[in-house]
């Protein structure tokens, strides 16, 4: 909006509360990452910006109706679903997507009744990205570190958890791990834990990484150091007294989740041992024929998020899981744009998605300047959407309504010594603002 002094932007959100993954995805023990909420809040306070929560596009109002009301519509609804494993046993009761587990501890309403089974010692996380590290860390962290804006219910469940060991299992090798160095360093230094890294996975790796780009090189060097070098005095003492542990298993591709005697829970996972063809980021895991089993009950699948089609009128590529577009302009749909994960796929950190949004905004501004968007037709904006929503019995939540919910959460948190106690029931949120 800073680049076009007359532009008005209205934001529609399905949940009553804003901020998406910054509220529901970022780990509770990473509060600095959530500082970006202050920038968002500043934008929302602009008199040319309005927020309307509790409005489901595709149900309460259709995209075509939005296009009649606005000169431009930007779809940035992200990736609400997860990739499925596609293996037998993945629907056993103690197998969960990491997405649902993260939603559970972060207070996402749809995951509040997850009740994950934390009653056995060994947990397996399939995937080696930052989300995999997040779930491992939340499972193993000392409770005083976790006492943040994590929900009361999940903190209580974790306090009773029997989980002592978490394996992060990847189909490929150490050079293909998707997590980043800050998160890995945090895991290596996690109080009360020790890392289980097989030296055989890292021997000779130092030579291979001599010429790779610095980020991959430093990340690999940190793993090599932790696996092969003798720890310093402090670290050695911590590892010796650790009651919990985590480790990385490489070149294991899940084949089947094995059922327990009751046929409902998992008792283990059968995996194909793989070898790598090619190298670097594009290396492929190929089964060798050898198979291995790992005993465990809790299995968390952390193999990626997935976007869903919003509304049948919008083009969607189910294979890539994105809205077909060129620089954020939806193909074959003038006036329709997309940004973020639904545009590029569900990877990257906040800066990646932020830059991508600036990119889409640039396309919108260009189209405004070049006359691609016909401004001679005046549009009613929220005025017409309001009457549509009213006729359908939908009451949007404004930003100042959110600020009431925010204040209530902070007040409740104070009583518990936490930055906030998240409200996980949307009905309770609506009651609070008297809707």
Partner 1 sequence: MTVHFINRDGERLTATAKEGESLLEVVVNQNLGIDGFGACEGTLACSTCHLIFEEDVFQKLDTITDEELDMLDLAYGLTDTSRLGCQVCVKKAMDGLTVQVPVEVADMRRELEVENSKIKG
Minimum Å distance from CB 60 to partner 1?
A: 31
Residue 235 marked ligand-binding: no
Minimum Å distance from CB 89 to partner 1?
A: 36
Residue 428 marked ligand-binding: no
Residue in 102, 129, 112, 121 with CA at minimum distance from that of residue 29:
102
3-state secondary structure of 14: coil
Answer yes or no: are the C-beta atoms of 327 and 358 closer than 8 Å. Answer: no
Q: How far is CA 245 from CA 136, 235, 390, in A?
A: 10, 14, 54
Contacts for 105 with CB less than 8 Å, ≥ 6 apart: 28, 138, 150, 151, 154, 158
Answer yes or no: are the C-beta atoms of 18 and 43 closer than 8 Å. Answer: no
In the sheet that holds 266-277, the strands lie side by side as: 252-259, 266-277, 284-295
Residue 194 marked ligand-binding: no
Minimum Å distance from CB 78 to partner 1?
A: 18
Residue 274, strand partner residues: 287
Residue 5 marked ligand-binding: no
> Judging by beta carbons within 10 Å of its beta carbon (0-12, 13-18, 19+), is residue 243 exposed, middle or buried?
exposed
Nearer to partner 1, 286 or 372 (CB): 372
Residues within the interface to partner 1 (CB under 8 A): 2, 30, 32-33, 35-36, 38-39, 180-182, 185, 214-215, 218-219, 327, 349-351, 354-356, 358-359, 362
Residue in 276, 279, 180 with CA at minimum distance from that of residue 220:
180
Residue 171 marked ligand-binding: yes
Nearer to partner 1, 97 or 176 (CB): 176
Give long-range contacts, CB 8 A cutoff, 24+ apart: 331-338: 334/372, 334/373, 335/67, 335/71, 335/72, 335/73, 335/373, 336/63, 336/67, 336/72, 336/73, 336/75, 337/72, 337/73, 337/74, 337/75, 337/363, 337/364, 338/74, 338/75, 338/76
Minimum Å distance from CB 182 to partner 1?
A: 4
Nearer to partner 1, 214 or 319 (CB): 214
Residue 37 marked ligand-binding: no
> Judging by beta carbons within 10 Å of its beta carbon (0-12, 13-18, 19+), is residue 148 exposed, middle or buried?
middle
3-state secondary structure of 173: coil
Nearer to partner 1, 26 or 118 (CB): 26
Residue 167 marked ligand-binding: no
Minimum Å distance from CB 354 to partner 1?
A: 5
Render the burial of 86-107: b for 16+ CB within 10 Å, e for the rest.
ebebbebebbbbbbbbbbbbbb
DSSP state of 2: T
Minimum Å distance from CB 159 to partner 1?
A: 27
Residue 128 marked ligand-binding: yes
Residue 104 marked ligand-binding: no
Residue in 33, 275, 239, 202 with CA at minimum distance from that of residue 130:
33
Residue 13 marked ligand-binding: yes
Structure tokens at 19: 């901020």
Residue 233 marked ligand-binding: no
Binding site for FAD: which residues? Answer: 13, 21, 57, 341, 348-350
Binding site: which residues? Answer: 13, 21, 57, 128-131, 171-172, 183, 341, 348-350
């Amino acid at each position: 909006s800073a680049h076009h002094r007359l532009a008005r932007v209205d934001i529609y959100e399905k949940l009553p509360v804003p901020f998406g993954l910054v509220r529901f995805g970022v780990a509770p023990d990473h509060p600095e990452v959530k500082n970006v909420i202050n920038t968002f809040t500043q934008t929302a306070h602009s008199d040319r910006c309005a927020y309307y929560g509790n409005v489901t596009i595709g149900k309460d109002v259709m995209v075509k109706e939005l296009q009649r009301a606005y000169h431009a519509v930007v779809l940035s609804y992200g990736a609400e679903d997860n990739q499925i494993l596609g293996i037998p046993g993945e629907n056993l009761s103690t197998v969960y997507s990491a997405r649902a587990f993260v939603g559970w501890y972060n207070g996402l309403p749809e995951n509040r009744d997850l009740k994950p089974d934390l009653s056995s010692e060994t947990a397996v996380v399939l995937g080696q990205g930052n989300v995999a590290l997040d779930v491992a860390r939340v499972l193993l962290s000392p409770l005083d570190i976790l006492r943040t804006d994590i929900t009361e219910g999940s903190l209580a469940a974790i306090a009773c958890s029997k989980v002592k060991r978490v394996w992060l299992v990847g189909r490929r090798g150490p050079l293909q791990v998707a997590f980043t160095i800050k998160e890995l360093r945090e895991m290596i230094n996690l109080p009360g834990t020790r890392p289980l890294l097989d030296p055989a996975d890292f021997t000779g790796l130092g030579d291979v990484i001599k010429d790779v780009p610095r980020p991959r090189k430093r990340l690999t060097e940190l793993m090599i150091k932790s696996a092969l070098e003798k720890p310093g005095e402090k670290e050695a003492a911590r590892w010796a007294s650790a009651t919990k542990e985590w480790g990385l298993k490489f070149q294991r591709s899940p084949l089947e989740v094995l059922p327990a005697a009751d046929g409902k829970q998992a008792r283990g996972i059968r995996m194909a041992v793989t070898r790598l063809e090619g190298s670097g980021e594009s290396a492929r895991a190929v089964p060798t024929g050898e198979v291995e089993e790992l005993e465990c009950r809790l299995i968390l699948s952390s193999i990626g998020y997935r976007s869903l089609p919003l509304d049948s009128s919008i083009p969607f590529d189910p294979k890539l899981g994105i809205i077909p577009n060129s620089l954020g302009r939806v193909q074959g749909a003038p006036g329709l744009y997309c940004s973020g994960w639904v545009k590029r796929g569900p990877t990257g950190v906040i800066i990646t998605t932020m830059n991508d949004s600036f990119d889409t905004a640039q396309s919108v501004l260009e189209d405004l300047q070049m006359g691609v968007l016909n401004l001679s037709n005046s549009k009613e904006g929220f005025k017409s959407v309001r009457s549509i929503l009213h006729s359908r019995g939908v009451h949007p939540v404004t930003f100042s309504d959110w600020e009431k919910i925010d204040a209530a959460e902070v007040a409740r948190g104070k009583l518990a010594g936490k930055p906030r106690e998240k409200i996980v029931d949307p009905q309770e949120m609506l009651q609070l603002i008297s809707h």
